[in-house]
Amino acid sequence: MAETPIPARTLHKGQQTRATILDAALTLAAHMGLEGLSIGALAEVTGMSKSGVFAHFGSRDELQIAVVREYHHKFEEEVFYPALREARGLPRLRALFENWVRRVAVEIDSGCIYISGAVEFDDRPGPVRDALVTMVQTWQDALERAIRMGVEAGHLKPDTDPAQMLFEVHGLILALHHDARFMRHPGAVERARIAFLRVLENYAVPGVLEDKSPARKRAASARAVRS
């Protein structure tokens, strides 16, 4: 017997409902962590029945995984894809970092699901942890490719270790998140930008950074004050 097709209007409404639930779930997860998500909490926030929410995800794990994927999708839209408009090499690498910093700055009052999720699931094997690792690894791979392109473009030194540079850049974001969100240091964003410039100075081919960018000028001013 042939399956009865689902009417397009019903399908579209179902997609809209799922998107509404995911938006609410993202907000909850940003403030309460992935562990704060539950079918019951979402039903209360969205004004739906528990069975209605359950019908879209099936289990708490599936809900958490869907939130991780949706967060990654939004992260790519705000951080990764806009940077692709820049030329390969340092222009794109700088754009990736700046977009990342701006994303963290916006999340100061909520939180980064990548970072909070790593704390929640670091020692808890399972599908949610696997989804988190996959999404973070996808982003790190993209950033490492941008570093390799910087070497190929002649902007970064030939002996640059992309994995090491990635480690240092990622460390800046972790420090920024900690100092801005936990310590509430007002100058954390600017410190991250200056620190990134110093990382670039360590890896860049001599002369490539002589563009007097705003961050470079601020770093020079900071050095002048200290001296």
- H helices of the chain, in order, are 8-32, 39-46, 50-57, 60-75, 81-83, 90-106, 113-121, 127-152, 162-177, 188-203, 214-226
Q: What integer pLDDT is reported at residue 5 of this predicted model?
A: 52
Q: What integer pLDDT is reported at residue 14 of this predicted model?
A: 73
Q: Where are the domains of the chain?
A: 69-226
Surface-to-core class of residue 163, CB atoms within 10 Å of its CB (0-12 exposed, 13-18 middle, 19+ buried): exposed
Q: Does 69-226 carry CATH code 3.20.20.450?
A: no
pTM for the model stands at: 0.84
Surface-to-core class of residue 12, CB atoms within 10 Å of its CB (0-12 exposed, 13-18 middle, 19+ buried): exposed
Cα distances (Å, whole numbers) of residue 171 to 14, 64, 140, 164, 199: 41, 26, 12, 11, 11
User: What is the pLDDT tens value at each position of the chain, 227 positions in all?
Assistant: 444 454 545 547 778 888 899 999 999 999 899 998 988 889 998 999 889 888 988 899 999 999 999 999 999 999 999 999 999 999 999 999 999 999 999 998 888 999 999 999 999 999 999 999 999 999 999 999 999 999 999 999 999 999 999 999 999 999 999 999 999 999 999 999 999 999 999 999 999 997 545 555 555 555 444 44
Q: How far apart are CA 48 and CA 59, in angstroms?
A: 16
Q: What integer pLDDT is reported at residue 213 of this predicted model?
A: 54
Cα distances (Å, whole numbers) of residue 33 to 30, 115, 171, 181: 6, 10, 21, 14
Specify which residues 156 forms β-bridges with. Answer: 204
